[in-house]
Structures are given as C-alpha cells and as structure tokens.
Structure 1
Amino acid sequence: MKVIFAGTPEFAAVALRSLHEAGFEIPLVLTQPDRPAGRGLHLQPSAVKQFALSQGIEVLQPLSLRMDSKDPQRAAEAKAAHERLLATDYDVMVVAAYGLILPRATLDIKPCLNIHGSLLPRWRGAAPIHRAIEAGDDETGVTIMQMEEGLDTGPMLLMERVAIGPHDNTGMLHDSLAALGAKMIVQALRKMEQGTLEAVPQPEAGVTYAAKISKEEAALDFNLPALEVGLKIRAFNPFPGAHALVNGVVVKIWAAEAIEADSSFEPGQVLAADAQLGIVVACGAGSLRLTELQKPGGKRLPAAEFIKGFPLEGLRFA
C-alpha cells in the first residue's frame, strides 16, 4: 500500500517511523510549518519533517487545507496542497496529531485513518492524554478510527487499552501510547490490505472532549483537594509544567503525592520542609507532598536537594 502521512509532533513521528520500517511506500508527508523554538526562537522543523527528510520523503507544509479560507495565502496553499494530493498515487492517508483540520475535500480523495490517544468516544479532541490523567482515569489507550468531518467522531477500527499507573505523568503515557499507536496502525493497514478491517460506530454514550491545554491552566490552586492538585501536576508534566508562586518566585512542581494530613491550615501553607518529612503543603482537603521542584533558571531537583538552595519553612504557595 502507498500511504500519505500527516502529522507533526513526536507522537506522530513514532508512527511514521513504524510505517516506514514496515515497508509501506510513503510518497508524501504533510506536516505543519516550521515554528520558532528555543531561546533564539529559530525556526525548527517538526519531528515528522525531520524523519521524513532523513529518509528522502517529500514534505508538504501548507498553512491550511481549507480552500474556503478567507485568508488568501491560506486558501492558495490549501488549493496547491489539494492538487498535490490529487496528483499523488496513494491508497490511504494516515493522520496522527497533525494539528490541521482535514476538510471534506481531503477526506473524499482516499480513506483517512487517524491514530487517537484515547478510548473513544472518551476524550475526543486535542489533548486526550493530559485530560485522562487530570480527570483521574484508571485507563486510556489508542483508537484507530476512520476519519470523517466531525471532531474524532468516525467509526472505530482498532482499540487497545492501557492502565494509567498512580505515578504516570503525561510524558510517560505519551511515550507508551505513541509506541502502541505505531504498532496498531501497521496492524490496521495490514488488515486493510487483506480486506479484514472492520469498522464499528462509536457509542453515543460516554462522549467527553479534551480541550487544548493552555499555559494558564498550569498555575496551581491549592484551595482544591490535594488529590486534584496532584492529578494536575502529573497531567501538566512535561507541558506546560505546573507551577505556583512562593516568596515572589514562580516555582515549577514536577511531581507530588497526596497524603492524609491536617487540613485546618490555610491552603498553600508549607507544613514541613526538611530532608526527613520532605515538602508538605496544605490544600483545600488533605495535603500534598512535593517531591520534585525547579526554580527559575535551575534544574529539576528532588525535594531534599531543592530546599538546600531554596528554604521553604514558614512560607506559603499561592
């Protein structure tokens, strides 16, 4: 089979690499335009583009695929991309975390399969891994689905479940699901080749939406119960990085665990900050033991190391 691939971040690059290694012919890759990154804000190619170029695969980077865009440049690029797709000999398009909407005109050319990091219909949308952890879900997984115009509403083709461990953060789960999705998309295309790939409509019950993550969400509110604050810390690791203000300094909190402790103290109050007890902070219900922190310009440190250079006793997180 000849496969056009559309994707942008590392999650997608893992799948592209798997398809390439499985021997599928990939005549064209679509990915988002290069973005400024790093301290110098130099333009950086996406992980998908880097892999594609390393293998000599043609890369297309339109700003949009919507030919009806009111922006003349976007409309022109979309039209050129559409014509390129029509001129390309391919059997199926595989999409993984592309970041652009595929309009009906694109979906109508050839079948489009999507690798989605959740157990659909739960967590349709942009940030399924973050939201599953934030919500305290016990499990998640990967769904291979056939794309249609609705947001992650298409029929399901393959699904596999993954347990969410009590200490899993988004980075850990991302890597697990990326590897699983890469394996599953190869299985799906093999079944398609054999004519044994079956589509099952998504159930109408249990639909939830995983809204895009904003940096503002990462500011912790210790008025919430300790369990909720702990889930947010795990969900926002590594991006955007949960943080709180203490003594006028924004401190990032990378790991923590909820504990049973006296919650009669003001939320955010540091109850302990020593090598023996660790860093314990009062919450709206229960308390939180912070286990990995980072001050501006510093390294991520275990709590015992962090307090050597940043005493917290008697202070309050806000």
Structure 2
Amino acid sequence: LDQPESVNDHTARERIAAERPDAVLICAFGALIEEPLLSAHPMLNVHPSLLPRWRGAAPVERAIEAGDAETGVSIMKPIAEMDAGPVFLQERERIRPDDDYGSLAPRLAAVGGELLVRALDESPPPHDQPGDGVTEAPKIGAEDRRLDPAMDAEALARRVGALNPHIGTWIPLEGEERLGVAAATPAPRGPAPGALASEDGRLLFGCAGGALELLRVKPPGGREMEAADWARGHKESLQP
C-alpha cells in the first residue's frame, strides 16, 4: 500500500512505473492526475454517472438531489479536463423512489466493478463524450447540508436522501443547536417556513409551498431516532 501526498510527484511516479502495470485503475480518486503520469500508462477511471452528465466530485449525490430517474456508471479514460475523457463502457441504473445515497451507491459500486472487468477483458474502443448534456457535480459543501425552508418540500426531501447516511442534513434549533435529519418525506401543509410543529404524531418542518415531514432525526450529541419520539420530548422547540 502506497499513499503518497501527491500521485503526481516524481517519487510516486517512479513507484508506479516500477510495478510495470498493464493498466492503472482509478476509482473515487479526488485529485486530478497530471502529465507526465497521465500519459505514462493505460488508465481506466470508474465514474458513477452517465457521462457527460454529472462530471465532478459528487455525481451520486447530485443525481439524487436533481430528481434524476436514472444514473449509471461510465468507464472512461482520464484526461487533463475533469471527467471529460472518452468513454469505453456505460451501464444505466434506475434511481428508485425510495433510494438514498446509502442504497444507490452500493449498487453503482457493483455495476462499476463488473464494467471494469469487462473493460479489461474486452478492450472496447473509446468514444468521445457528446458536447451536449454536460452538467457539473461539485463537491458537497457545508451550505448543502442545511435544509433551507425557502426550498420546496420535494427538493428538500431529495437533498435529505442525497446526503444520507454519509454526510447528513440538518435544520436549526434555538441558539446554535442543530437537529440532524436522516429521513424525510414531503407533506402538503404544515407550519410557517422554518418552524417545527407536531401534528397527529408527525414532526413537520415548514417550507415553501408545504412542509417536510421528518421521519428520523439525530439530536445534538445523540443517536439517530424516530422523529415522533424526539418531538414528544421537545415540545418547547415546537410551534404551538
């Protein structure tokens, strides 16, 4: 196992060359590979999207967040431009209505492994990506985790699914505290945007055009739990 600070530095390139690889395989690698390493060996990159859609660091999250009906995996040749190289193989994967990152990502990983073996065995010819349909999948930032009540309930529910369970989303409580939201679904109505209320045993977060029903939450410093159980013990945080 070799974990250099930069795969592009001279020492790292020498170590890779010493192994005389038939191919260099890249998966979930968050840095650009630069010349001269980029041209030194045959390279295959496993990218979890249907390129050219969702080039970048967070393709799985952005596909769920956007409400895409499907995504997939591309086996492509890395070039200097991020995720813009020619594609050897692609396979589609449906995004199910109840998918979150935790259910979709493992399926894509399995597809990626199978495609990578095929690419190595069959050596298919690469095809340039089309110029149309390019979208970016920027890295998830701190601002993405906050559930903004100015957004509608459908968009908020998709964001919760996109960022759970590996990153997490939250809503603000009084003071500086935050309530983590692990699962949620749209509701037709609820309290004013930004407010929390309990209605018929459901915990509702008001947002644009309706409400987000919180199903599972993570209290500050606590473990994930049913939202209704949290609400029963925190009536002071709820709108009357």
Place the TM-score, normalised by the shorter chain, in its bin.
over 0.9
| 1:1-318 pair list within 5 angstroms | 59-66=1-8, 78-192=9-123, 197-248=124-175, 249-261=177-189, 265-275=191-201, 278-311=202-235, 314-315=238-239
Q: CA offsets, 1:243-271, max 9 Å, x none?
A: 01123331000111112226xx5202234
- Residue 311 to residue 108, structure 1, CA distance change in 2 (3 Å): same
CA distance in 2, matches of 1:314, 1:251: 13
Instruction: After TM superposition, give the deviation of residue 281 of structure 1 in Å.
Output: 2.2
Instruction: After TM superposition, give the deviation of residue 273 of structure 1 in Å.
Output: 4.3
Q: Give % identity.
A: 37
8 A contact 2:32–2:82 mirrored in 1: no
Instruction: After TM superposition, give the deviation of residue 274 of structure 1 in Å.
Output: 4.7
Instruction: After TM superposition, give the deviation of residue 219 of structure 1 in Å.
Output: 1.2
Q: Give the letter aligned to residue 139 of structure 1.
A: E
TM-score by structure 1 length?
0.71
The CA RMSD over aligned residues, in Å, is 1.8
Residue 26 of structure 2 aligns to a residue whose secondary structure is strand
8 A contact 2:198–2:231 mirrored in 1: no
Residue 36 of structure 2 aligns to a residue whose secondary structure is helix
Residue 296 of structure 1 aligns to a residue whose secondary structure is coil
CA distance in 1, matches of 2:230, 2:110: 34
TM-score by structure 2 length?
0.93
Residue 95 of structure 1 aligns to a residue whose secondary structure is strand
CA distance in 2, matches of 1:221, 1:177: 29
**Count, aligned residues:** 239
Instruction: After TM superposition, give the deviation of residue 163 of structure 1 in Å.
Output: 1.1
Residue 60 of structure 1 aligns to a residue whose secondary structure is coil
8 A contact 1:273–1:312 mirrored in 2: no
Q: Which stretches in structure 1 are left out of the alignment for 5+ residues?
A: 1-58, 67-77
Q: Give the letter aligned to residue 222 of structure 2.
A: G
Residue 184 of structure 1 aligns to a residue whose secondary structure is helix
CA distance in 2, matches of 1:221, 1:84: 47
Residue 203 of structure 1 aligns to a residue whose secondary structure is coil
8 A contact 1:145–1:157 mirrored in 2: yes
The list of structure 1 runs, each at least 4 consecutive aligned residues, that deviate by more than 3 angstroms after superposition, is 312-316
